[in-house]
Amino acid sequence: MNNFSPTLATRLMLALAVLLSAFPLYWMLVIASRTNADAVSVPPPFLPGGNLGDNIVAVLNNEDAKFLLGLTNSFIVSSIVTVSVVIISTLAGFAFANLSFKGRNLLLVLVLLTMAVPLQQMGVVPLYRLMVSLEWTGTLKAVILPYLLNGFGVFLMTQYTRQAVPMELVEAARVDGAATLRIWWNVVLPAVRPGMAVLGINTFMLMWNDFMWPLIVLTPDNPTVQIAITSLNARFSTNYTLIFAGTALSIIPLIAVFVAFGRQIVGGLMEGAVKA
């Protein structure tokens, strides 16, 4: 009993957490590789089958779902919104954290208050009317515009910049003759790279998984990937194998983005540890 060290207990808990987290992904692959009869059988199958390739082909060839178009649209929307949110939030965070101007605290409070407003619930009707007046319904612009900036990103980058970029560093750069944008580009951006990566991952995942607003403002002929997955259902029944196969395809870009941005997070943390 004495050999059961805290390190071993921690490893066992982490292993259990990994198993619990990975099981839904494994179950998704099991159902995606089976027939629909296997998916609804009792007891359910726990090992992958041999129909994954056929199910993926059926998803891609489904004329009602337009799955490839949905993947493309979701990638375009998520990428544009992520780039916009990260850049604007980093600029605003630098301004709130390291620049002195009148009304700075008041503006930051107003930004925080926007986080208290549930946009999807309270803003859906005026937003939809705005898109109708702009004649943007059915286009990706209607999905992109409401999300180009969010209060959480500004707040996150403000707090991160305050910790990562000392005022002495900014003042030193200003003494050397650097302009404000030059300080942001050469001093602030390298220091806040891990925070930008976290914000980028979070924003991309939120936009990729967004369902309600695209369902309202887009048409079935121009869907995002989440709308395309729902279109895989048959008219009077649910085809679980196609839905799970489509879901498996839809998470591949998320994994790629997580790997790419995750390297930035680890690299930034390692640089900070070396400097410390």
Residue 178: what pLDDT?
87
Residue 276: what pLDDT?
41
Of all residues in the chain, what percent carry a pLDDT higher than 90? 50
> Tens digit of pLDDT for each residue in 21-75?
999 999 999 999 998 888 888 888 888 888 889 999 999 998 888 999 999 999 9
Mean pLDDT on 127-138: 93
Residue 267: what pLDDT?
57
- How far does the chain reach from its first CA to its final CA, in angstroms? 39
Residue 269: what pLDDT?
53
Is residue 2 predicted with pLDDT exceeding 70? no
pLDDT band for 144, please (50, 70, 90 cuts).
Answer: very high
Question: What are residue 88's phi and psi, to 5 degrees?
Answer: -65, -40
Measured CA distances, 160 to 74, 189, 268 (Å): 29, 11, 13
Residue 100: what pLDDT?
87
Name the helix (H) or strand (E) containing 71: helix 67-98
HEC states along 124-151? Answer: HHHHHHHHHHHCCCCCHHHHHHHHCCCH
Whether 230 and 223 have beta carbons less than 8 Å apart is answered as no
pTM: 0.86
Residue 275: what pLDDT?
45
